[in-house]
Structure 1
Amino acid sequence: MELKDKVEVTFHAGVLTIGGTIVEIAYKDSHIFFDFGTEFRPGLDLPDENLQTLLDNGLIPELKGLYDLRFNYEYKGDETKDYAHTAVFISHSHLDHTRMINYLDSDISMYALEATAEVVSVLNQNGDFLLPSPFESEKAFTRKITAVAPYGKIQVGDIEVQLVPVDHDAYGACGMIITVVGRKIAYTGDLRLHGYNPEDTEKFTELAYKADMMIMEGVSISFPERKPVKVACPIHSENALIAGFVQLQKVNPERQITFNAYPANVQRFSEMAKQSIRQIVLTADMALLLKKLFDQDVAYYKENVEQDTSLLDKTLEVDYVDLLADKTNYIWQVTDNFDKLQAGGLYIHSDAAPLGDFDPTYEKFLALLNSNAIEFVRMACSGHATPDDLDKIVRLTKPQLLIPIHSYHPEKLENPYGERILPNRGQKLLL
């Protein structure tokens, strides 16, 4: 194979950091990209989130031919190749993988699993999940995502991409098996083995077995210096988290109890609703997501009077005033107006925003609860494979070349079965 016919893999973003993964695989005039989010660095305190501001602060990379042409963006890189066949693939709905999709040129196809396409659409129905397009009049505009069935394959010129479900705390997550000129490249996306669907991750490792290259997340090896955060009970799985959620209700029979979780973790909300002792009440938006994905009816309340709840069962609506006054009957999701909660109540923080002490708003949030004597209980279960499970996934796949990304310490992930390369941002590898 001549040099010009080599498969090129470029790590545009998502290296030596968590989030904002954008990797390009190219062969001749065929190009695929995954994913299309931004890095999360709230400490920058940006004046705005315009395309140029994000570029100037390194939150997104210079990319040829991908951004909406109406931005009048001028590419500053050195890429000269033809982009006749181009597509973007989304592994899951978390913002560090999706937040920028409305900035993508509308002529470029974008693909994701069916569930991810639905989750992104519903979460952005108020226009406050993704970065909004400055060119669309509709406030809640979400650019088209072509939904793909699990294990479905998409052909982009000479490149074939198979979307393979994996276990993660974002419902509908997938990894990808990319095939081009007889080479197999596996991209894990974000994955784990301790959630609701570990068999999905195991199936992915079978399909990725002895890949020529495996591009793998390494979030859990990023924070060895951090002390473990105290939780209500040891939580090693999603099932253990639900058990702890139920136990807190048992030991607090006469106390206002509220909670929140990350909205993309739809299965967690679903199991909370199924197993809760008290009547669980979700926001109307979350209740709608459960209805659309699982046909599950859950009690809900409106966060504003304009919310469209026409698809929900009217008899299940609970008045917000009743929730504020309750101490015994309800456990309900709260996303705002924490200052209205009862003094002495209990609030369960289950991987919700603000996500942790790296976010400047986290300490302010804790102070707000403390000022009203509301007990804060962090009840978390990571969406990412543990360090031991990362090693297990490598062992199950035995890649010829391992590329750890999406981590502050990728060097901690080793490959006893072949080579390992730790790329720099912008680096191009030839396969």
Structure 2
Amino acid sequence: MVLKDKKTKITFHSGVLTIGGTIIEVAYEDSHIFFDFGSEYNPAAKVNPTDLQGLLDEKLVPFLDNMFDPKIPLKGYESKENNFKNTAVFLSHIHLDHSKIVNYLNPEVPLYTLEGTKSLLNTLNINNDFLFPLYENNGIKNTRDVNGVKENEVVQVGKIKVKVMPVDHDAYGACGLFIETPDLTIAYTGDIRLHGYRKNDTLNFCKESENCDVLLIEGVSVSFQDFGDSLRGGEPANESELIDKINKIVNDNKGKQITFNYYIANVERILNILKTNPRTVVLDSYSAYVVKEAAGYEAYYYDLDNKEYGLNPELKIEFEELLNDTEKYFWQLGTLALKHFNELKEGGVYIHCDAQPLGEFDPAFEPFVKSFADRNIEFNRVVCSGHARPYDLIEIINLIKPKLLAPIHSYRPEKLYNENGDMILVEKGQTI
């Protein structure tokens, strides 16, 4: 291996040989940083804990000395003496496998992320049900303090410098990290791709990271695809094609009730749906609030949760009108609307756009799809991956040309390769 005698240490606490729950530590002398701060999630598991004790016991989260809120009582876990003078956590993006446990973080430890992700964290958690809750909630806020940084801003944590750089992903405010210690440069992609709205940001990240010592790259797509595989199931090649596909379904089904759902953190996608769809798009009030807070866009909405989101009352559409509509509206079948599923018109159309349940790995997916067939509603699954395709992962690696490649966030990291240097297949808990 080309890298020797370095004082920098990289510890892979979690996120190895799995998709999600990435927690990596970079340490240099008395300074260390962590990224990200989510938890592993398996909807098929018999136990899905909802507190820190359970997450630790089920090994869905690693125990990290002095990193968790000391007020949270834990049995069987005790921190060692803290020898670090400088500590910080960075979040690459909003998805829960990267952010779910930030409220369990020690309040004394600063948390940094791009301003877009900070805004979404506070907005999505307004009802205290997006993140795991604070142990002590004073009723004033549901989310711990977050330091929002501007795109490409550098944060200094003792002897470690971190440049927070936007990248292309299907989550608003996603970033990669370019990390410099006195003797090493490290690039962390977060979740990344080349076929979305911010391809140029990914390319800029690659340019900035060129010839780095270590590249930590996600490998989600190679978990399921080989390099020669075509797009899965006729998946659109990019976000623009996805919008075209949705609009075609709407245009081809005149005189039918048409509903949809999407992943709420994908703000750029819903903005393009709102702006281009042939029908008037109507969101549930929570989603309309998120779009307004994140992007300043005021959408038509319906209200089933009777919560005050500060939305424009002139844009409110009565839910009964949506249930009776077959021509004017393209409306979101959100969680609360699903309780009225049996009131949907038979013969209608539904578009499932990277919404939950996400796919066959979730036991809830098959019954969900069947429920539409039972009601004679056409089910359309329209997806566009938030992760770089296998050949794009190689392009990103080749653009960066790292001395050492460490693929993570993947079931099959060994399928990736580094034409310009070495590669290491790390183990959970390993320090290099």
Paired with 1:242 and 1:191, the residues of 2 have a C-alpha distance of 20
SS across alignment from 1:355: coil
Name the stretch that deviates more: 57-66 or 81-90. Answer: 81-90
Contact 2:225 2:390 in 1 (8 A): no
* TM-fit CA distance, 1:339: 3.5
Partner residue in 1 for 2:203: 202
Contact 1:158 1:180 in 2 (8 A): yes
Could you say if the C-alpha distance between residues 340 and 40 of structure 1 is closer, same or farther in structure 2, counting changes exceeding 3 Å?
A: farther
Q: Are positions 1:330 and 2:329 aligned together?
A: yes
Contact 1:205 1:396 in 2 (8 A): yes
Partner residue in 1 for 2:407: 404
Structure 1 residues 312-352: Cα deviation after superposition (integer angstroms, max 9, x where no partner): 22211111111111111000111222343222211101100
SS across alignment from 1:162: strand
Could you say if the C-alpha distance between residues 77 and 28 of structure 1 is closer, same or farther in structure 2, counting changes exceeding 3 Å?
A: farther
Partner residue in 1 for 2:421: 418
Paired with 1:132 and 1:74, the residues of 2 have a C-alpha distance of 19
Paired with 2:11 and 2:202, the residues of 1 have a C-alpha distance of 25
Partner residue in 1 for 2:313: 314
Root mean square deviation of aligned Cα: 2.0
Paired with 1:198 and 1:361, the residues of 2 have a C-alpha distance of 33
* TM-fit CA distance, 1:78: 9.2
Paired with 2:305 and 2:383, the residues of 1 have a C-alpha distance of 28
Amino acid at match of 2:376: A
SS across alignment from 1:70: coil
Amino acid at match of 2:429: G
Structure 1 residues 105-160: Cα deviation after superposition (integer angstroms, max 9, x where no partner): 11110000000001111111111111112321439611111100000111111111
Amino acid at match of 1:362: F
Paired with 2:217 and 2:48, the residues of 1 have a C-alpha distance of 33
Q: Are positions 1:263 and 2:253 aligned together?
A: no
Amino acid at match of 2:373: N
Contact 2:170 2:385 in 1 (8 A): yes
Equivalence map 1:241-280=2 (5 Å): 241-280=242-281
TM-score by length of 2: 0.94
Partner residue in 2 for 1:380: 383
SS across alignment from 2:41: coil
Partner residue in 2 for 1:192: 193
Partner residue in 1 for 2:91: 90
* TM-fit CA distance, 1:230: 3.8
Contact 2:44 2:362 in 1 (8 A): yes
Amino acid at match of 1:260: N
Paired with 2:80 and 2:398, the residues of 1 have a C-alpha distance of 36
Q: Are positions 1:357 and 2:360 aligned together?
A: yes
Structure 1 residues 183-221: Cα deviation after superposition (integer angstroms, max 9, x where no partner): 210000001000001000000001100000010000000
* TM-fit CA distance, 1:308: 1.2
Paired with 2:343 and 2:10, the residues of 1 have a C-alpha distance of 51
Could you say if the C-alpha distance between residues 423 and 143 of structure 1 is closer, same or farther in structure 2, counting changes exceeding 3 Å?
A: same
Q: Are positions 1:8 and 2:9 aligned together?
A: yes
Equivalence map 1:112-131=2 (5 Å): 112-131=113-132
SS across alignment from 1:144: coil
Contact 2:6 2:183 in 1 (8 A): no
Paired with 2:84 and 2:46, the residues of 1 have a C-alpha distance of 35
Partner residue in 1 for 2:431: 428
Amino acid at match of 1:391: I
Unaligned runs of 5+ in 2: none
Could you say if the C-alpha distance between residues 172 and 250 of structure 1 is closer, same or farther in structure 2, counting changes exceeding 3 Å?
A: same
Amino acid at match of 2:364: T
Paired with 1:315 and 1:120, the residues of 2 have a C-alpha distance of 27
Amino acid at match of 1:417: N
Amino acid at match of 1:344: G
Q: Are positions 1:284 and 2:285 aligned together?
A: yes
Q: Are positions 1:366 and 2:365 aligned together?
A: no
Q: Are positions 1:164 and 2:128 aligned together?
A: no
* TM-fit CA distance, 1:4: 9.7
Paired with 2:424 and 2:48, the residues of 1 have a C-alpha distance of 37
Paired with 1:322 and 1:268, the residues of 2 have a C-alpha distance of 25
Contact 1:102 1:133 in 2 (8 A): yes
TM-score by length of 1: 0.94
Structure 1 residues 271-298: Cα deviation after superposition (integer angstroms, max 9, x where no partner): 0000000000012222222222322221
Paired with 1:78 and 1:196, the residues of 2 have a C-alpha distance of 43
Contact 1:128 1:140 in 2 (8 A): no
Could you say if the C-alpha distance between residues 227 and 46 of structure 1 is closer, same or farther in structure 2, counting changes exceeding 3 Å?
A: farther
* TM-fit CA distance, 1:242: 0.2
Paired with 1:270 and 1:22, the residues of 2 have a C-alpha distance of 31
* TM-fit CA distance, 1:50: 1.5
Number of matched residues?
423
Partner residue in 1 for 2:295: 294
Amino acid at match of 2:8: V
Could you say if the C-alpha distance between residues 197 and 4 of structure 1 is closer, same or farther in structure 2, counting changes exceeding 3 Å?
A: closer
